[in-house]
Amino acid sequence: MPYRILVTGGAGFIGSAVIRHLIESTSCEVANVDKLTYAGNLESLTPATDSERYHFYKVDICNAVALSSVFDEFKPDAVMHLAAESHVDRSIDGPAEFIETNIVGTYCLLEATRRYWYGLPKTDKDAFRFHHISTDEVYGDLEGAVELFTETTPYAPSSPYSASKASSDHLVRAWQRTYGLPVLITNCSNNYGPYHFPEKLIPHVILNALSGKPLPVYGDGSQIRDWLYVEDHARALLAVLSKGKVGETYNIGGHNEKRNLEVVETICELLDKLVPLTAEGDRGQTHTYKNLITFVADRPGHDRRYAIDASKIQRELGWAPQETFESGIRKTVQWYLDNPDWWQRVLSGEYQLGRLGGQL
């Protein structure tokens, strides 16, 4: 198990879950390298920031000079690369930032890592790992209801986001093949859980419902996704970093295929039980959050179905998700009910105020 781990994008949704897990469950030193874009929220790291083993660097991964300084100062044994622009709708409206962060940023990080890695003593060099965290969206979508994404599924990205992530995957593999950099790649299904930025489907639905706002569903809501609880994902990533074979790809899925409409309806049913609507007004209408569901025009190029075959990581590394969708979504809804201060500060923009830089 590497002792000093550099995590890029550690203030994001998955990155913060990884750092919380590393601080709470291991003895590792952790460096969080994050530019702090709109989706980067240091308040998601509150459980970890009091630890002497946590270090923060406000650095853009496209800044080669600053990156090299972080490597020289922190001297990591491994890199976990999670920094990315990741919202499909935003990539359709403005793809330039996705090209810059996901492709150019990955290139800059690979080069900074390579220069650092070349200078290590042989023992440290052999033990070093570069773990690139990617998405199942690079595979495009699936026909029918049976086929699954495997580690050898051909790439067929559909959006500027998934195309930029596919590009970054190819760069990582090229740096291993050309320069010998010891890399690991993981491709995950849709994550959900605590601290999820409210623009994504599940937190957006929860918070809109609590505010009595419409719950928008693309098209007819029949798109299918495989849902992975973010803390299960963090455990999987640590298993890959610790035990994965250099050069290998591991798919990480939750074994929870659900239609988007089914996800929204499940959230409504949970909220009906946990925070039931009052019976005032709307005579003759059943009082349920499902009444807020609104179907909207579908997203351009919207993939119909994603589903991960996660048998390789279970077979070779012994990982399997601990949460079912039912247990994970209940925990998620309850977390948002219990932590209004966090999401209210996100919705108001207050979380972005007073951001202080890290050591660089």
Beta strands at 257-259 and 224-229: parallel, antiparallel or unpaired: antiparallel
Q: Which of 29, 34, 77, 137 is catalytic?
A: 137
Helix (H) or strand (E) holding 250, with range, is: strand 249-252
Which candidate in 116, 161, 336, 351 is catalytic?
161
CA-to-CA distance for 157 and 134, rounded, in angstroms? 12
Is 229 labeled as catalytic in the residue annotation?
Answer: no
Which residue from 204, 198, 228 is spatially nearest to 39, judged by alpha carbons? 198
What is the bridge-based pairing of β-strands 29-34 and 54-58? parallel
Look up 280 and say whether it is catalytic.
no
Q: Which of 34, 60, 77, 136 is labelled catalytic? A: 136
Could you tell me whether strands 54-58 and 78-81 are parallel, antiparallel, or unpaired per DSSP bridges? unpaired
107 classed as catalytic: no
CA 343, distance to chain mean position in Å, is 18
Q: Return the exposure string of 317-340: e unless at least 16 CB atoms fall within 10 Å of the residue's CB, then b.
A: bebebebebeebbbebbebbeeee
DSSP one-letter string for 257-304: EEEHHHHHHHHHHHHHHHSPPP--S-TTS---GGGGEEEEPPPTT---
157/151 Cα distance (integer angstroms): 15
**Amino acid (one-letter) located at 354:** G
Question: How many of the other CB atoms lie within 10 Å of CB of 78?
Answer: 22
CB 253 within 8 A of CB 308: yes
CA distances from 117 to 28, 67, 75, 253, 283 (A): 19, 13, 10, 31, 69
Quick one: which H or E segment has residue 112? helix 105-118
Measure the CA–CA gap between 324 and 315, rounded to whole angstroms: 19
233 phi/psi in degrees, rounded to 5 = -60, -45
Active site amino acids: 136-137, 161
